[in-house]
Amino acid sequence: MSAAPLVAVLDYGSGNVHSAVKALVAAGADARLTADRALIEEADGLVVPGVGAYRAVMDALRASRGDELIDRRLAGGRPVLGICVGMQVLFGRGVERGVDTDGLGQWPGVVTELDAPVLPHMGWNTVRPDAGSALFSGIEQERFYFVHSFGARDWLLQTQPPFPQPRLTWCDYGAPFLAAVENGPLSATQFHPEKSGAAGIRLLANWLGTLRAD
């Protein structure tokens, strides 16, 4: 039996990360909350959690040089998974209550307030994954747990062969927004898999299954 994949959960000061570690362990990972640069660079996968305001998460990432670690992994084709605000900061900018903040810029686009009559979007919702999604294999009809008021409402990245087309998953709350993205080594979910019960564990297990696929 092969060893469990080593997953580093980036410890940069974001709150409520222990549930993510526990969920990854339940999904079959050797998961470690860490700021150790060597371990983060060598791990099979890196998870970037995020809760709170976009600017606060970006400030904490930059203060800990977490942005550099994410860049280095992706430059080497090493898998990264962003969760909640950890997904939002992968885009070019975030605008929250008049505060405009540069993101990590892995994907073009702006994170803005959801177009919905009641905010935050909090609770369980269905999603619409693209055909062939690895993350949602076998759980396409399941519900996932969201708690957020902001999100990416457009996908602007244009890809040309030989690069594969990203797999996009949408959710409807007032208007469509991106619930998940699978783009080469970089994946992300707006919802919280660690709070999504058995479906969330299955999604994390699906992601773990991609780490050593090649």
Determine if the peptide bond prior to 120 is cis (ω within 30°).
Answer: yes
Catalytic residue among 41, 84, 121, 182: 84
Catalytic residue among 148, 171, 182, 194: 194
Q: What are phi and psi of 197, to 5 degrees?
A: 60, -145
The pairing of strands 175-183 and 143-148 is: unpaired
- Read off the DSSP letter of residue 194: G
The single-letter code of the amino acid at 208 is L
Residue 192 bears catalytic tag: yes
3-state secondary structure of 11: coil
The single-letter code of the amino acid at 125 is N
Residue-wise DSSP of 65-130: THHHHHHHHHHTT--EEEETHHHHTTEEEEEETTEEEE---SEEEEEEE---SSSSEEEEEE-EEP
Catalytic residue among 148, 171, 182, 192: 192
User: Which residues have C-beta within 8 Å of that of residue 39, sequence separation ≥ 6?
Assistant: 6, 8, 32
Residue 84 bears catalytic tag: yes
Which residues belong to the active site?
Answer: 84, 192, 194
